[in-house]
Amino acid sequence: MEIKSILVEVLNSLNRARGLNPPRSDVELAALRWEIYASLQNVLDVVAMVIADLGLKKPSSYAELGKVLYEMKLIDERILETLRLIAVTRNMIAHAYRRLSVMDLDKIVIEILPKTEEIVRKLYEILESKGIDPIDESSVKYVTSLLEEVFKKHNVALAYLFGSRARGCSRPDSDYDIAVIISRAEVTVMDEIKLALDIADALKVPADKVDVVALNNADTMIKAKVLREGVIIYAENENIRKVWERKMYLEVLDSTDLHAIYTARTFSKLRFPCNW
């Protein structure tokens, strides 16, 4: 998923949150909480991606993300404080230290979401000014045009191009990194190998220049990478894409939060010497 498309999804989440406020049922309350969380988390993810793409020092917490951009004079003090506010609010929602009432969520919608919208506009400006998130359209169209029949032959429901060829920074000899979802109950490494060989034949490149990963069995880190930078090159239908991306995204978010909570709790139990 391109960085700019994540920003578009932030705006969509903000609009959905406003439409759900005030909630008229427990279902709408849960949906409102989710839309707020998703919009804030996506903003923080985009800031992290910008920092990574610019090769800047990566902070250890969400609350410190804005400081990196501020030190590079990419944002002003007001935007810095807004990013800190977003990070703290996101943590409160994610970790459920206390149950947020309808009134609490209403305050967030009124006071924080407009500021989040402003952050989206600023981040888009940074992407444009720094040339971040280009897509190599020629690579994408070239791969898409040649592989449709290959994907159908191997029962592929979805396929993404990711890595350098999706980011627009590939060389002529760069690998083709392709992530797929295969419509089969059990997917093995042999399925990936056979698909990779047929893709190599279709693209007329050496077989070792094609890396195929089946998302059916992939770990969360790979799924996060595909969601962040993957460009769709084949979809059996649009509904399958939406369902799988939503499922993968929730899995990535859950895994990230659980890892953070586990790490924090583990370190809180350790006792370090004073001169550590």
The domain spanning residue 117 has which CATH number? Answer: 1.20.120.580
Whether 257 has a pLDDT exceeding 80, the answer reads: no
Q: Which residues of 220-246 are buried (b: 16+ CB within 10 A; e: fewer)?
A: bebbbbbbbbbbbbbbbeeeebeebbe
**Closest to 146 in 3D by CA, of 96, 192, 94, 201:** 201
Domain stops at, among 84, 105, 130: 130
Say if 270 falls within a structural domain.
no
Whether 185 has a pLDDT exceeding 60, the answer reads: yes
Whether 273 has a pLDDT exceeding 80, the answer reads: no
Q: Are residues 126 and 11 in the same domain?
A: yes
Q: Are residues 10 and 120 in the same domain?
A: yes
Its domain, for residue 203, covers: 137-262
219 is written with which tokens? 């770990």
Say if 118 falls within a structural domain.
yes
Q: Are residues 142 and 125 in the same domain?
A: no
Contact between 203 and 236 (Cβ < 8 Å): no
Q: Are residues 123 and 175 in the same domain?
A: no
pLDDT, position 228: 79
* CA–CA distance, 196 with 182 (Å, rounded to integer): 13
Q: Are residues 121 and 169 in the same domain?
A: no
Instruction: Report the domain count for the chain.
Output: 2
pLDDT, position 136: 56
**Mean pLDDT on 193-208:** 94
Q: Are residues 116 and 152 in the same domain?
A: no
Q: Are residues 76 and 39 in the same domain?
A: yes
**Mean pLDDT on 162-181:** 83
Whether 259 has a pLDDT exceeding 60, the answer reads: no
Say if 275 falls within a structural domain.
no
Say if 177 falls within a structural domain.
yes
Contact between 242 and 206 (Cβ < 8 Å): no
Find the CATH number of the domain harbouring 214. 3.30.460.10
Residue 147 half-sphere exposure, CB side, CA atoms within 13 Å?
34
Say if 274 falls within a structural domain.
no
Whether 1 has a pLDDT exceeding 80, the answer reads: no
Least confident of 88-97, 145-154, 189-198: 88-97
Q: Are residues 125 and 186 in the same domain?
A: no
Q: Are residues 255 and 166 in the same domain?
A: yes
Among 171-185, 196-210, 245-259, the range with the most confident prediction by mean pLDDT is: 196-210
Average pLDDT over the chain, rounded to whole? 85
Q: Are residues 7 and 126 in the same domain?
A: yes
Q: Are residues 220 and 190 in the same domain?
A: yes
Whether 7 has a pLDDT exceeding 50, the answer reads: yes
Which residues 6+ apart lie within 8 Å of 100 measured at CB?
33, 92, 93
**Mean pLDDT on 70-78:** 97
pLDDT, position 167: 73
* Residue carrying structure tokens 């009432």: 101
Say if 176 falls within a structural domain.
yes
Q: How confident is the model at residue 270 (pLDDT cuts 50, 70, 90)?
A: very low
Q: Are residues 141 and 236 in the same domain?
A: yes
Least confident of 8-12, 82-86, 120-124: 8-12
Least confident of 35-39, 88-92, 96-100: 96-100
Say if 155 falls within a structural domain.
yes
Domain stops at, among 95, 114, 130: 130
Whether 172 has a pLDDT exceeding 80, the answer reads: no
pLDDT, position 135: 56
Say if 151 falls within a structural domain.
yes
Domain stops at, among 90, 115, 130: 130
pLDDT, position 201: 94
